[in-house]
Structure 1
């Protein structure tokens, strides 16, 4: 079980988050794994989160996520949504001095970034969804915070998202592409891929799936007599076939044990997803680390990681027949499929959470606050 530790007053990296630990969604896991990556490379982290529900202890939750180092995590009631209209004032009453003195204050929540700005706390902001920032009329306010020196750096998760800030005139040295990552340690003992499985392939998707997330593509594959399709997660809409198997959500540290049962991994992200323009999905990096052939939607930010014909096949998300053809191509070319999977596994090594943490450390902790806009 991963130990937890009390927060130290001298933590160099203060991460303020809205992650609810009882909800094992990707955003929560990404937050925890970022903090773990920093801890693994020797950066002391204080992670503030809202209180979580249920009777499970913090250590039990972290153990399910596969966390293996001590993390300084504190639940603070001042971060509850109840306090959002007041810019989370109780949290800042308690911790404003500490935030002012911290070498680094960091968040991935636009709402918390605005609150930090209101309370005069310089910080850096991790960007996951540029389109949402524009839709919610937040982007302009964030840019005003940057101009005033309250946002020091932006950490978009894709180059596609970074381009938005560059187009707004933010200097490249203040915009750092920081993709999501993968816990390589969880995949150390994964079974090697066996190309013989392509004769009757087990095709797998991990996560929540619905009509607007690509369920119809899974249906198209599932009705093939020689294909078996499994969703490890949940179906949010009823499928039109009974041939899609469902394994309810499993603890994150167990994901590799399911991925190794797949012959092909699919990620049919749709263009109409709100975050499709800046996506950097954690499950893509995990699929790569699993060393399985990958079929993924051909979207601009996806192509930054998934290189068509090198470590994945990028398929038009609007063309269901193309997905079927891609599976059949892999069946007909098992040697190519093996090379695809091997290169994906090799490329995954660049995207460890520790490597992600090094980007944060080397940019933020090397910076002198008084020269924030140098």
Structure 2
């Protein structure tokens, strides 16, 4: 199948949405599909976008700038994407998260719309409403069942038998390389290494991690990720000497850090900002870091939020703690520090669940329309 993936955000970038999109395109290619990515122009330098993200396949990536004209700029870019898709040849499926480009490209091929949140702005909600009415829309993909429930509640067409099919497909991870280097981390060589990979903006629990570091001086804490601005903010604040900020690294260079950690943290709070530090996605969040932790068989301590319980089971593949209860987090990490066998058991079960349910390749089969629901043109 020839798939055009339409993405509204920058490639490459420091944000997780870029990782998600590149991993999905890579998995489409792994499954034998011919995929082309149409995205916004990247905001960070990268001579080779595939090397930056560490993809296995070198699928075409076309990027388009957005004119700095309120509202109209998005539509101008969307029509440029439509023309590029049309000129690329016959397309069997339009897939993506770009509301404007998907709507502008209606009629070129059947559509699958993936969404990770209820759209916050009035203009975006209007465009989404129009997209959801398109006869060519075959599926709407959400990343959590909580988000699917909210779409069923707010979009009557998704409750109708003849409407587009609503499918839930969590974020995922690739299985890591069987061997490779382990990061040499600052701090004490033989102490417990507690890791966090992700952004540093509001709702990610950075305050919790720093409080943990202060209460557990015999462990070293390593935070990997963050924009330059957020990194400068946290480094300028007083923090324990056993807390180390490593800054942003390309996704392709994170493997050595994951290998180095003994325990990993996902301290999401009851309000979680999305890319850029705005909004609140705590009800629907599907953190890729959780699945990456699972793929490495790491012992996970995570926030006990209803949406995370769609994937995590306390005492089986993780330890869950109240999001802002530092005493509970301290007790959980200390218990795992003292019990290597418990760490190993949690990690084994997390990896087993990842292999069974949450690989990007398995996600491809879940999100693509069934042949009987989405007839396509041409071959693949």
**TM-score (norm: length of structure 1):** 0.82
Counterpart among 204, 209, 212 of residue 213 in structure 1: 204
Contact 1:99 1:121 survives alignment (8 Å): no
Q: Is the 8 A contact 1:315 1:322 kept in 2?
A: yes
Selected match of 2:51 from 55, 59, 63: 63
Aligned residue number for residue 238 of structure 2? 240
Note the 1:169-318 alignment, pairs <5 A.
Answer: 169=156, 170-171=158-159, 174-184=165-175, 186-189=176-179, 200-210=191-201, 212-223=203-214, 224-234=216-226, 235=231, 236-237=233-234, 238-243=236-241, 244-273=243-272, 274-318=280-324
2:116 maps to 1:109: no
Quote the Cα distance in structure 1 between the aligned partners of 2:74 and 2:121: 19
Deviation sequence 1:305-349 (CA, Å, 0-9, x none): 111111111211121111111112223443222211111111111
Query: Which of 83, 91, 105 is the equivalent residue of 1:94?
Result: 83
Identify if the C-alpha distance between structure 1 residues 265 and 178 changes in structure 2 by more than 3 Å, giving closer, same or farther: same
**What is the match of residue 4 of structure 1?**
none
What RMSD, in angstroms, separates the aligned Cα atoms of the two structures?
A: 3.0
* C-alpha contact (below 8 Å) 2:102/2:131 kept by paired residues: no
Counterpart of 2:9 in structure 1 is 19
- Structure 1: stretches of 5+ with no match in the other structure: 1-10
Change (3 A) 1:14 1:366: farther
Partner of 2:363: 356
Match of 1:151 among 134, 137, 142: 137
Alpha-carbon deviation of 1:28? 0.7
* Alignment partners' CA distance in 2, 1:331 and 1:96: 53
Residue aligned with 2:314, SS: coil
Aligned to 2:340: 334
Q: Secondary structure at the match of 2:8?
A: coil
Query: Cα gap change, 1:81/1:315 in structure 2, threshold over 3 Å: closer, same or farther?
Result: farther
Contact persistence 2:110–2:137 (CA under 8 A): yes
Q: Flag as ranges the 4+ runs of structure 1 deviating above 6 A.
A: none
Change (3 A) 1:276 1:249: same
2:143 touches 2:168 (CA, 8 Å); kept in 1?
A: yes
- Structure 1 residue 53, shift from structure 2 partner: 5.4
Q: Partner of 1:246: helix, strand, or coil?
A: strand
Query: Which structure carries more helix by proportion?
Result: 1
1:274-307 Cα distance to aligned partner (Å, 9 max, x none): 1111111111110011111101111122111111
Q: For the residues of structure 2 that align with 1:317 and 1:51, how far apart are their CA atoms?
A: 36
Q: Is the Cα contact below 8 Å between 2:304 and 2:320 reproduced in 1?
A: yes
Q: Scaled by the length of structure 2, what TM-score is found? A: 0.81
Counterpart for residue 324 of structure 1: 330
Aligned to 1:5: none
Structure 2: stretches of 5+ with no match in the other structure: 183-187, 273-279
What SS does the corresponding residue of 2:149 show, helix, strand or coil?
A: helix
